[in-house]
């Protein structure tokens, strides 16, 4: 299924973050760019490395005026216990982890791994009009690199033709 340029599926999910338990929705985020990255589950091996790495770049996402959310099928209570595990997250987690225990939202983005029933490592970048500008998914076994995600966000927001080596501040293809 091709999601690029299409309206993102409408969603409402509970989340746990710096402000505690709250409900979030695509409707609330209309008018803002946002990233949701899906990961298989809390209390696993690769997932905390990815959450930590993305959290270390949270200020960069905020500077780019993009909201960052993680998501799994774990409950918000499980997210809370996981995030508060100081032996896992020494510095805490400063962005919201969304909870989709039924898998309904995850399925609407086609991010359920066929064999395990867990979320695959899915990623969407949604623009201020609620349209998906980036969609990717990968194996459960490899975490993603935050700088690559941030570069994709910045390139999409630059609204120009970006080479494969483009970084923020570079000229677009065709500019003198």
Dist. CA 103–CA 61, nearest whole Å:
26
Dist. CA 30–CA 24, nearest whole Å:
11
What element of type H or E holds 161?
A: none
- Which entry of 47, 71, 120, 162 is annotated as an active-site residue? 47
Q: Which two tokens stand for residue 2?
A: 């091709």
User: Annotated catalytic, 47?
Assistant: yes
Question: 39 CB contacts (<8 Å, ≥6 apart)?
Answer: 46, 47, 50, 51, 70, 71, 72, 119, 121
Cross-strand bridge partners of residue 112 = 119
Q: SS3 breakdown of the chain: % helix, strand, coil, rounded to 5?
A: 25, 25, 50
Question: 144 CB contacts (<8 Å, ≥6 apart)?
Answer: 37, 50, 121, 123, 138
Catalytic residues: 47
């Amino acid at each position: 299924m091709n999601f690029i340029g299409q309206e993102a599926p409408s969603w409402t999910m509970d989340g746990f973050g710096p402000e505690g338990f709250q409900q979030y929705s695509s409707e609330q985020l209309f008018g803002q760019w946002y990233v949701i990255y899906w990961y298989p589950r809390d209390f696993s091996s690769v997932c905390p490395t990815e959450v930590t790495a993305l959290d270390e770049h949270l200020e960069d996402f905020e500077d780019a005026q993009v909201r960052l959310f993680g998501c799994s099928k774990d409950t918000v209570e499980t997210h809370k216990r996981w995030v508060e595990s100081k032996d896992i997250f020494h510095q805490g987690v400063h962005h919201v982890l969304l909870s989709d225990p039924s898998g309904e939202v995850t399925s609407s983005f086609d991010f359920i791994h066929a064999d395990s029933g867990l979320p695959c490592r899915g990623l969407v970048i949604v623009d201020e009009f609620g349209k998906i500008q980036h969609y990717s998914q990968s194996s459960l076994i490899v975490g993603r690199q935050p700088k690559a995600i941030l570069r994709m966000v910045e390139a999409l927001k630059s609204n120009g033709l970006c080479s494969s080596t483009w970084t923020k501040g570079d000229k677009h293809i065709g500019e003198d």
